[in-house]
Amino acid sequence: MAANHLLCFLIFSAGIHVISSATDPRDVVALRALKDSWQNTPPSWEKSDDPCGAPWEGVTCINSRVTSLELSSKGLVGELTNDIGGLTELRTLDLSLNTGLKGPIPPQLGGLKKLHMLLLSGCSFTGSIPSELGNLVELSFLDVSSNSLTGEIPPSLGNISGLYLLDLSDNQMTGSLPVSNPITPGLDLLKNAKHFHLYDNQFSGTIPAALFSADMTLIHLFLDGNQLVGRIPSSIGLVQTLQMIRLNGNALTGTVPANLRNLTNVNFLSLAQNKLTGPLPDLSGMNSLNYVDLSNNPFDQSEAPNWFTSLQSLITLILKNNAFNGTLDMGINITKRLQLVDLQNNQISSLVLGYNNTLMLSGNPICTVEPNAKYCKNQSK
Ligand SMILES: *[C@@H]1O[C@H](CO)[C@@H](O)[C@H](O)[C@H]1NC(C)=O
Ligand SMILES: *[C@@H]1O[C@H](CO)[C@@H](O)[C@H](O)[C@H]1NC(C)=O
Ligand SMILES: *[C@@H]1O[C@H](CO)[C@@H](O)[C@H](O)[C@H]1NC(C)=O
Ligand SMILES: *[C@@H]1O[C@H](CO)[C@@H](O)[C@H](O)[C@H]1NC(C)=O
Ligand SMILES: *[C@@H]1O[C@H](CO)[C@@H](O)[C@H](O)[C@H]1NC(C)=O
């Protein structure tokens, strides 16, 4: 009799417990499974079985469903298991800066159709980016930077038409930059993207001309530190919204397209450390420029340029290790904003100087004549 009462009580209280939970049972199951696969989950995750009601740190809910999981920099250790696929109402997943999170990015993420932000940067994820992520049509932010990802960019990512940020930087990804064809999508379809951060990988092949079009809205194009070859496509000049262009540290060849000058919103331009030939591009008219680095390219030998004196916003100009000769004219109209001009290791033999800030000319013939001049002693690393 007493035993029966106790049993009834246990069933009753267990029933109350489930009814009073503020969390949908499907989400409880998924979160518990994730908890079991991770070390260092926040202490509040031990204290309740109701992640929404007696809230678990980093978990946000709407109407009993988990809508965001934000656990950046928690020291999490373990894998992101398939269980994440159970949180079907998730809009934000931020697991960034947990260097102990390893293993592959599960393809089940592609089932989280409401996902708006997927932030996995600064962890230790390996393997390739699952093509299923292309199913995340609501996604705005995809940041998987600074992991150990390999493999190619899935063309399916081109299907995420509302994507704002694509950050794959600082991984070991390979292959070419995918553009669309009649059968598969590609990055050229990302007309709403503002940021292509694809630097410091091992991407190869050419920069496809079809990647760029006039209806794109890119502001940051970061392709530096890859193994890209071929010419800079002139179609880049169509993307009027561009503000920062980094193509440095590749193996690009040929001449710089003249219509680069059309990009008058660009404030940062680095084409350094490539194999660009032909005349040094004349960037006059690019009046927003404040940082220009064209160093370390085999441009044609020519007189030291003076177009830069017309750029009123310019702060830094780096043209070292090129082949400029003759007279460097920094006599008139030098903007007061200009702070650094680095023309080391060129063929400059004379100078007209009306400029007070840092000038670096070591490695030029003028410095064999005037070795003690300030501009001959200044050296960058
Ligand atoms: C891209 O989206 C289209 C239309 O929804 C779909 O038919 C196609 O299979 C998708 N492609 C990839 C590679 O996901
Ligand atoms: C540069 O821009 C101007 C005006 O926006 C346009 O008429 C011209 O065709 C462009 N030139 C190139 C080479 O794209
Ligand atoms: C600079 O180099 C160009 C191309 O080699 C040459 O035509 C020109 O005479 C040179 N100028 C000076 C001052 O050495
Ligand atoms: C210097 O600036 C003045 C005023 O902006 C302009 O009239 C002149 O043409 C400029 N000179 C050179 C050599 O650029
Ligand atoms: C150079 O600097 C000195 C002192 O810092 C200043 O008095 C002078 O006006 C400057 N000259 C130019 C051309 O800017």
The residue-averaged pLDDT of 30-51 equals: 95
Nearest residue by C-alpha to atom 12 in ligand 2: 259
pTM: 0.90
Predicted confidence at residue 353, as pLDDT, reads 87
Measure 167 CA to ligand 1 centroid, in angstroms: 21
Query: Contact 295/321 with Cβ under 8 angstroms?
Result: yes
Share of the chain above pLDDT 70, in %: 94
Nearest residue by C-alpha to atom 8 in ligand 5: 356
Q: Which of 162-171, 217-226, 262-271, 299-308 has the lowest mean pLDDT?
A: 299-308
Q: How many CB atoms lie within 10 A of CB 182?
A: 4
Cα separation, 278 vs 53, in Å, equals: 66
Q: Hey, CA dihedral for 189, 190, 192, 195, is it positive or negative?
A: negative
Could you tell me if the CB of 148 is within 6 A of ligand 4? no
Ligand nearest to the CA of 325: 3
Q: Where are the domains of the chain?
A: 301-314+321-381
Cα separation, 94 vs 80, in Å, equals: 12
Query: Contact 164/193 with Cβ under 8 angstroms?
Result: yes
Q: pLDDT tens digits for 239-292?
A: 999 999 999 999 999 999 999 999 999 999 999 999 999 999 999 999 999 999
Nearest residue by C-alpha to atom 3 in ligand 2: 262
Nearest residue by C-alpha to atom 4 in ligand 5: 356
Measure 347 CA to ligand 3 centroid, in angstroms: 9
Could you tell me if the CB of 368 is within 6 A of ligand 5? no
Measure 83 CA to ligand 3 centroid, in angstroms: 67
Q: Residues lining ligand 3, judged by CB closer than 6 Å? A: 301-303, 325-326
User: What atom in ligand 5 is closest to the CA of residue 356?
Assistant: 1
Q: How confident is the model at residue 188 (pLDDT cuts 50, 70, 90)?
A: very high
- 158: amino acid identity, one letter: G
